Amino acid sequence: MSELEILLLTHMRAAGLPEPAQQFRFHPVRRWRADFAWPDAMLLVEVDGATWSRGRHTRGKGFERDCEKTNAATLLGWRVLRFTRQQVESGYAVDTIEEALGGESCHTP
């Protein structure tokens, strides 16, 4: 797990959210994995580090691959949430996940 994934997992546990599956293989053929998943809710969560420093997720080929992965998950019926480091650190990510799982969000954008 990356440091950012650990931080988000810590936030989710502190908020009392259901424990997610980690590095969840959601596709029946491709070897793609989501950082976190709640299979019963058909919810996948991805965290993207280095979005402001030309990390893999913001460079052309990496961004294109992320689009392909997200689109494939959506076509399989998954809801996909993606978060940046700033969104994890601010609490926006955990609030959004809580809302997606059926709880009430307390974050005000």
| Spatial CA neighbour of 73 closest among 38, 36, 34 | 34
Is residue 105 situated within a structural domain? no
pLDDT digits (tens, 9 = 90+) for 39-48: 999 999 999 8
**pLDDT confidence of residue 107:** 47
Whole-prediction pTM:
0.83
89 pLDDT above the threshold of 50: yes
| Spatial CA neighbour of 79 closest among 97, 58, 57, 103 | 97
Is residue 84 situated within a structural domain? yes
Is residue 22 situated within a structural domain? yes
Is residue 29 situated within a structural domain? yes
Q: What is the CATH number of the domain that holds 51?
A: 3.40.960.10
95 pLDDT above the threshold of 90: yes
Is residue 54 situated within a structural domain? yes
Is residue 108 situated within a structural domain? no
**pLDDT confidence of residue 60:** 67
Is residue 91 situated within a structural domain? yes
Domains: count for the chain = 1
pLDDT digits (tens, 9 = 90+) for 46-61: 998 765 445 555 556 7
- The answer to whether 82 and 74 have CB atoms below 8 angstroms apart is no
Domain residues for 82? 3-100
